[in-house]
A and B are shown apart, each in its own frame.
Chain A
Amino acid sequence: MPTVVGVGAATFSATAITPAFPGGYTAIPGDVAITYLETTSEIVTAPTNWASVTTVATSSGELSRLSAFWRRLTAGEAAPTYSTTVNHQQGQMIVVRSCRSAGNPFDQAPATTEAVVDTTVSIPGVTTTFPNCLLLYAFGTGQDIFSAAGATGWANAALSNVVEQMDSWSSTGLGGGFAVASGGKVTPGATGAMTATLSLTANFKTLMCISLVGDSDDTRQPLIRSARPIESGASSGNYAMPTSSTILGG
C-alpha cells in the first residue's frame, strides 16, 4: 500500500507560490508528489512536468476551486512554482511512496461540489479494484479566514488508519482553503464517503477523492517470483533451476 512520506508547509499568496516538499525531504525517484491548490475560480496550469489530477469549483456562493496536481519525482528535483494572475492561491504538497510505478499513480479521482451551506462534510468515495489502495479525501471552501483547524472529526469506517494530512485556510485576497485526510483500503471494494465537520463558517464545498494504487498491487506489473530453495522449508523436493526471471524477481 502506498504510504505517506510527509506533508510540506502550507503556503499562500496573491501571486506565485512554491508549495514545498516535506521538511527535510529530498526528491527520491519513484515517489509521487501531489500538490493541492485552492484558488477563487481560476484554473491553474500544471507546472512543467507535472500533470493535473483534477480540479473542481463551486459555481455559486463564495467561489472556490480546489485542484490537485501530481508528479512522479526524479532525484533531487525542486518543488515547482504555481503562478496566478487572479486574486490568490493556497497550496500544499504531500509526498507518497510505493505508488504504482507507471502511468497515473491513481486509478480514480472523482470530484464533486456540495451546494449546501452547512458544516457537514461528506466526500464521496470510489469502488477500488486494486487491493491496498491509499485514498486521499479533500474538501475546500472559499472562506476568507486564517485557520489551521478547518476540519475535525474525519471518519470512514471502511478505511484503515484515517489521518488528517492537511488543514489550512488563509485570508489572502478573497481567502479560501482546504483539508485533506488519508485512509487505507486493503480489500477492493467501496470505500464509502469520508465524513468530517467543517469547523469554520458553514459554506459550499469542493470535494475530491484520489485513489492511489500501490506498486506491488498494480496488476500491470506482475511480480514474477518463485521460491528460493532456502525458503521452501523442505529438504527434499524438486529444485527449480534459477533463471534470469527468478533471479530478478527473487
Chain B
Amino acid sequence: MPLSVDNIIQQNTGGFEASSGAATLAATTAGSVVVICVGIGIAGGVSTRMEPPSGFTYISGFNGYISAEKTGIWIFGKRVSAGETSWTFAESNSLTVQATWVAMEITGVDANVLNTYAVTTDPTAALTYNATATTINSGVTLASPCYDSLVFAVHSARNTTTTIPTWSGQDNGFTELVESSNVNATNAVSIAVSYKPSLAVGSYTCTATVSPTGIPAAGMVVALFADGARHAPNMDVIFGAEMGTNLALTTGIADQPGGTLHNKSAPFQLSGGTPEISATFARTGSYSLKLSATAAAEWLSWTNAGALGEQRFYGSSANFPLIGRLCFYLPSLPAGDVEICAAWSSAQSATFWYRSASQKIGCVVGDTISPNLGTEVLSDATVSAGVWIGLDFRYDPRAAIPVCDWQVDYDSLDTTAAPVAQTQAVGISGSIFDVSEFVVGWKTAATATIYYDDVALCKQYGSYPLGDVRIALVKVDPAGTCTVTGTSTNFKTYTSNGTTATWTSATTLANLGSVPPIIGASSSGLTQVSVAASDYVEIPMATFMGAPNYALRAARWYVCGWAASTAVCTLAIRWHDGLAEYTFVNLGDHGFDNATAVWAVGMVRSAVANDYYELTQAKLDGLKVRVGWSDDATPDVGIHVVFLEVAYQPVTVFGSIEAEDAAFKLYVRLDPVSAAVVSLQATTPAGTRGATMSWTVSGVDGTQYVGPNTTGEKSLGASSIEEVTSYGLAPDAG
C-alpha cells in the first residue's frame, strides 16, 4: 500500500526551555521510524545547533548552526525498537533554547535512506530564512527518483511577543498535520508540520503563511521513501551499438577541468582485444557489439573514472551498488567457460560466466585476484544458442559481505516468458569497496563469440530489476530547422573533410545526420570559423514516440568532434530540452582534428548529483543540441555527427475491466517501472453495442466512444501514477 497519512501511527508535541529536552511518544513498534521535528527560538546573534538524540541522524541533512537568525529547524530520524518512548536531544553548546517539537512514529518507511531526499547539506537550498516573513517557503528539494514517498514540510517562526505564531495555506498539495508551540513570559515559538503523499518522482516545495506577519520564520522539506519502493533508474550508461562503427570506441574528450556530472567521454573507457560493432545480429535497432576471440581476452568496460563515476544517489561518494541489464546472444554455445560480464570493485567482483559443462549461467561474487570466492550460483535452467538472453543484476558491495541479486530472461524477445529470479550470490567477508569498472566480455582468455545489445547501468538500489530495456537510434531531425544565435557567417558547413560552404540549416542537418559517422576524406559536418564566444548553432533532434506501447527511460548523447587541424582550438556543446539548457562539453580544446575520431558521449540528465532527471515525451520531443561559443576558431572547429540513443521499455499490459463475460474489455498499458498509465485499449463485441472509455488525466476528464466490433486506443502518456486518477469502461445500454 502506498504511504499515506495513515502510516503516521502516532504523534505527539511538546517543548522545553533549556539546553536539552526530550521528545516522547507512547511505546513504539519495532521497525517503525520515529521522526522528530524541532523548531527553536533563541536570541539573535548566537550560533545554535540542535544535536540529534542518540541513535538518530539528521534527516534534514542540515547539521549546521543557526546564526544571526532567530529561529531554526532540525529534523531527526531513526528506525526504532519496540517499546521506545523518549529521546533526548540537546543544543550543541549547551545553550538554553526555547524549543518546540513534533514527534511522529511512521510505518513503512525505508530507514536506510533517511537523509537523502531532503534538504541538501547546504541549508540555503531548502531551509530558508526570512526575518520579516508573511509567507515562508521550505526551499526546493532535488528531484527525487522514488515512486512512493511521504513528504513533510516543516515551518517555524518565533515571535518576540507571547502571541503564538500560527500557520495556514500550505500549498502544493501539502496538508497540515499538527502545530506545536512554546510560550514563555516574553516570546513564542511554533512549528507546523505538513505532509504530502507522493507517487511521483520530482522535487518538493511548500510555502506556508504565518500569522502574525513580519516575524522571523524558516521552512524545510524532506521526503521519506517507502520501504521497498520502486525507484526510477537514473541511468549512468545505456548502449545499443547504434553508432554502427568501431570508430574510436574508447577515444573521447578528456574529463573536464573542474568536472561536471555528464561524463563527456568515449562510448567506453577501456578495452581489450578487437571488439566490433556488428550488423549481423541485433536485438533492437541495426547493430550489436560483437566480441569474438580464440584463447584470448576480449572486452570493453566503463569505469569509475568515466561513465560510472558521475552521479551518486543516497549518500557517500563511494561504495555504491551497481544495477544493470544487458542482453547477450550466443550464435553457438561455447565449448569452454567464458565470462559474460563482470562488475569489479577492487578486490571483489560479481562475475557472470557461461559454464560449458552445465550450459548454464553462473554468478560468483568474491576476490578473483587471490582468489577467494563465494559459492558460485548456477542459473536454474540452461541457456540456448540463437536467442537473446536478458540478464538483470544488482551487485551490492557496500557491506562487508557483498551480494548479487540476479534474474535471467531466457528468451528476452518472447514476451510470454517472464524473467526468472535466481538465487542470490554471496561473496566473502572483506573490506568494503567501490564499484570501479563494469566489463562487457571476458578478461580471462577464452574462445567464444558473443553479441551484446541493450545495455543499461545505474546505481539506485530500488531500480532493480531494470527489466526489458531497448535502445533506439534518434538522429537529427531532417525536417527541422537549425538556427544561429549570433552571426551566421561565424559558422559554415563543410564537406570533403574541410571544404567549407555558407552555412544553411538544410546542409547542417544533412551533414550531421550521417550515422555511422565518418572521419577522414569524406567527412562532412558543421564548423565554427570565427571567434564568437556568444554564438552557437542550435540543431533539433528527431524524436521517438513512447506511447501507446512504450515508456521512455533515458537518452545518451553521442557527438563526434572535428577540427581542420590538430592545432589548439576551442568549442563548447550544450543541449536544451525545451525547458532548460544544460552544459554538455565545456569550452575548451578537446583534441579534435580531421583524422582521428574523438567522441563526446554523455547522458541526457541533470548536472547535479542526486537530482533525478525524468525523460518525458515532451523533453525528448524538445531536445536540441547547441554547438559553438568558440573563443579560438583557428583552426575551424566543429562536429561531424550528433545522435542519441534512447532507452525505452515495452509497456506492461494489464486487463483491468471485462464486462458481460469478457465481451467488452479495457486493457491498461503501464510503464513497467512507474506503473503510470501509458495508454488504454478497449475492445467491443460484434453486434450493435459499443462502449465508452473514460479517464481523468491531471484533473481533466475525457471519454472516447468505441463502436461495436472495434478496438479503440487512447494514448495518455502519463509518467506517474498520479497523473491518471481514474479510467473506466461503460458498455452501451443493452
Contact = CB atoms under 8 A, between A and B. Distances in A.
Contact of B670 (A60, A112, A124, A202): A60
Interface in A50-82: 51-62
B633 interface: no
A108 interface: yes
A108 B733 contact: yes
Interface residues of A, number: 37
A110 B682 CA distance: 13
B659 A113 contact: no
B634 interface: no
Nearest to A200: B6
Given A60-B670, A111-B728, A117 B657 contact: no
A129 B733 contact: yes
B726 interface: yes
Interface string A137-162: 00000110000000000000000000
A117 B197 contact: yes
B656 A57 contact: yes
Nearest to A128: B733
Contact of B659 (A54, A115, A143, A207): A54
A117 B721 CA distance: 11
A115 B674 CA distance: 13
Among A51, A55, A108, A112, chain B packs the most CB atoms within 10 A around the CB of A112
Contacts of A217: none
B659 A109 contact: yes
B717 to A, nearest CB: 15
B659 A111 contact: yes
B694 A115 contact: no
B731 A56 contact: no
B1 A114 contact: no
Contacts, number: 104
Contact of B662 (A52, A111, A114, A142): A52
A203 interface: yes
Interface string B177-200: 000000000000000000001010
Contact of B199 (A54, A117, A201, A203): A117
B380 interface: no
A46 interface: yes
A52 B660 contact: yes
Nearest to B663: A52
A117 B675 CA distance: 15
Given A56-B656, A201-B4, A115 B724 contact: yes
A53 B730 CA distance: 12
A142 B731 CA distance: 25
B171 interface: no
B727 interface: yes
Contacts of A129: 733
Contacts of B654: 57, 59
B726 A56 contact: no
Nearest to A143: B1
A62 B655 CA distance: 16
Contacts of A53: 659-660
Interface in B685-734: 694, 721-722, 724-731, 733-734
A210 to B, nearest CB: 10
Contacts of B725: 114-116
A103 interface: yes
A126 interface: yes
Nearest to B670: A59
B2 interface: yes
Among A52, A56, A59, A126, chain B packs the most CB atoms within 10 A around the CB of A59
A243 B385 CA distance: 83
A115 B724 CA distance: 7
Among A104, A116, A126, A143, chain B packs the most CB atoms within 10 A around the CB of A116
Contact of A46 (B6, B661, B675, B730): B661
Interface string B254-284: 0000000000000000000000000000000
Contact of B660 (A43, A54, A115): A54
Interface string A19-56: 00000000000000000000000010010000111111
Contacts of A107: 733-734
Contacts of A51: 660-661
B411 to A, nearest CB: 25
B677 interface: yes
A56 B722 CA distance: 19
A136 to B, nearest CB: 15
Among B6, B694, B721, B733, chain A packs the most CB atoms within 10 A around the CB of B733
18 contacts: A51-B661, A52-B659, A52-B661, A54-B657, A57-B657, A60-B675, A61-B2, A62-B1, A104-B660, A104-B734, A108-B730, A111-B730, A112-B694, A113-B728, A115-B677, A129-B733, A201-B4, A202-B4
Interface of B: 1-2, 4-6, 197, 199, 654-662, 668, 670, 675, 677, 694, 721-722, 724-731, 733-734
Interface of A: 43, 46, 51-62, 103-104, 107-117, 124, 126, 129, 142-143, 201-204, 207
